[in-house]
Structure formats: structure tokens, C-alpha cells
Amino acid sequence: MVHVILRNFFLFLSKNQLLNQSARKWGLKLGASQVVAGETISQAMKVVRQLNQKGLVCTVDHLGEFVTTKEEAIQSADYCIRTLNAIAKTGVNCNLSLKLTQLGLDVDSRLCYENMKKILSCAKKHRIFVRIDMEDYSHCQQTIDLLEKLRNEYVGLVGTAIQAYLYRALDDVKHLKGLNLRLVKGAYKEPPEIAYQKKEEIDANYLVMIKQHLRSGSYTAVATHDHHIIDKVKGFCKEEKISKDQFEFQMLFGFRTELQEQIAKEGYKMRVYVPYGNDWFGYFMRRLAERPQNVSFALKGLLSKS
């Protein structure tokens, strides 16, 4: 019960625009510096290089919330392109992740599409994969529709994420057969009309999704910190004789770092999701909502600044 209350509380805070704007003035305080790799591209590249040296590959995401104007969307797209150029220049082993709302999806869907084409054209030049993060349910179909427009022109360079708590998730995985998908449990608050609410139901659907995508021969990114799920995926792939080249594990920067390094040492590809930027508040609140134990991050951060 306490877990549910805390989850709903942090998800509520994540959508508060006033707090989000105030947080930019605080800098990476309240523990966020432990899970956000700085505010600049150069700081993010430094963290990525350090992770690469430990045998981990990465994907970086320039954080952003509440984009409401064409100018903001264009600025976000430019930042994505600058990030791709930095990845290429530094030679780090890293992909790019982004959100369509940052690129203007809520402002003008055509603008968002044009911004994506510019980003993917740059990614194609550098041969860097771009992941479209899945957002809340209201943006789910829009995200998949835009992906369908891009997948044939930018083959092997673009994919998205599918969230297991949605009833539609398995159908989406089947529909997107052949694409590189990040499969996740889900991080937003969705009503029972469209999403599973119980952990055991979400976990069960998650495993079905993973097995479905792997059996189809599609590249699968298993994004979870749940070691029970990870062990089951390892066992399944061994039983089905699925090559380690067909899948990878993914975790968030700053979480379960020892497990990340252990997985890499076992010969699996372990990708770390590395967020950066000064618009970190919404991201951080969602991480606290996922696991209230993460509040300790915030307390440590607050105490270290006092």
C-alpha cells in the first residue's frame, strides 16, 4: 500500500511543470547526480567512455520535458544531432535515445517527423542506432505510426520501446517483428482500462513479449533491473540456442552497477542508458516512482549539499 502511494506521489510530481522549471536552477542536487551523467554533452561523453572501459556499451538521452513550441522542438533536434556528432568524434560505443514529444509531437506531428528525418540522416552518416523512447499511452500509437514511416528508409538505424504493462503490448511486438525493440515493464501511471496493474501480471506479460520477439529472430533489448527476469532470459536463450548476438540487456545509469559489470563479464552485451541535461526532474521522479527505495539517492544528495 505504501509503495503504491509513493509511486503515485512521485509520478504526480514528475508532471509538475513549476517544479520542473525550479529544478533547473538547483542543478543536479537531491541525488540526481547519481543517476544523471551531468548537464552537458562533454560530461555525458566522459561518463560513456568510463563505462566503455568497464566493458559496457551505452545509449545517451538528452533529457527534456514539456516542449510546447516549434522553436523548442527544433532546438531539441539540434541537440540530438550535436550529440550524434560528439559520439562519432569521440569514438565511444554508444547509441542515441530520444523522445518524440521533445521533437514537437504535441506541437505539430509533421514538424516532429521532419526533425526525426534530420536526426536519422545524421545517424545514418555515422552509423549510429537511434531509439525512440516510448512515452505514456496517449503517445503510443503516434510513436508507432511515425516509426512505420521511418523504418524502411532507415533500415537497422531506428527502433522503439514497448511497455509490458499495456494490454496492447504483445500485439505491438508482433506487428513490429524484425525491428530492434527495447522491451520494458513500463514507467508511467496508466488506468486499468488499458494496462495491467499487478506486478505478477506485468512480469508474466513481459516474459511472453521477450520470448515472442526473440523467437521471431528479431533483435531484442531486455531492459530491466530484475535479476529474476534476467536469469530466465539467459536460460530461455540457452534452451532455444539463441545467439548472444541477437539480444542485449539494458539498465539505467547509476542502478545495480555491480550486476551490470557482472553481466558484461559473462559475455553478454550490457547497455547502460545514460541520461544527461539540466531538464532532469521528470526523469528523476519517475525513477523514484519505480522503486521507492531509490529515495535514499535523494536523501544522500540532499545531505551532501547541506
pLDDT at 232: 98
Average pLDDT over residues 269-285: 83
- Provide the residue ranges of all domains of the chain, joining segments of one domain with +: 37-279
Q: Which amino acid is at 293?
A: Q
pLDDT at 255: 87
pLDDT at 173: 98
Q: What CA–CA distance (Å, rounded) separates 32 from 58? A: 19
Alpha carbon separation from 154 to 61, 121, 151, 234 (Å, rounded): 20, 8, 5, 30
Question: pTM of this prediction?
Answer: 0.87
Examine the residue annotation and report whether 291 is marked as an active-site residue of this protein. Answer: no
pLDDT at residue 239 is higher than 50: yes
Please, what is the angle between helix 140-150 and helix 109-126, to 10°?
Answer: 50
- Which ranges constitute the DSSP H helices of 216-256? 227-239
Q: What is the mean pLDDT of the chain?
A: 87
Note the pLDDT tens digit of each residue in 70-109. 999 999 999 999 999 999 999 999 999 999 999 999 999 9
- Residue 96's DSSP bridge partners are 60, 130
Examine the residue annotation and report whether 286 is marked as an active-site residue of this protein. Answer: no
- Which ranges constitute the DSSP H helices of 15-127? 17-26, 41-52, 70-90, 109-126
Q: What percent of the chain has pLDDT over 90?
A: 74
Note the pLDDT tens digit of each residue in 104-140. 999 999 999 999 999 999 999 999 999 999 999 999 9
pLDDT at 1: 53
Phi, psi at 270, each rounded to 5°: -120, 110
Q: How confident is the model at residue 258 (pLDDT cuts 50, 70, 90)?
A: very high
Q: Which amino acid is at 192?
A: P
Note the pLDDT tens digit of each residue in 16-66. 555 555 545 555 555 566 788 888 999 999 999 999 999 999 999 998 767
Domain 37-279, CATH class in plain words:
alpha beta
Q: How many Å separate Cα 43 from the centre of its chain? A: 19
**Residue among 133, 172, 203, 279 flagged as catalytic:** 133
pLDDT at 7: 53
- Residues 6+ positions from 150 with CB-CB distance below 8 Å: 116, 117, 120, 158
Please, what is the angle between helix 281-290 and helix 295-305, to 10°?
Answer: 130
Note the pLDDT tens digit of each residue in 148-190. 999 999 999 999 999 999 999 999 999 999 999 999 999 888 9
DSSP string for 249-271: EEEETTSSHHHHHHHHHTT--EE
Q: What is the dihedral of CA 72, 156, 248, 34, to 10 degrees?
A: -20
**Residue among 61, 131, 172, 182 flagged as catalytic:** 182
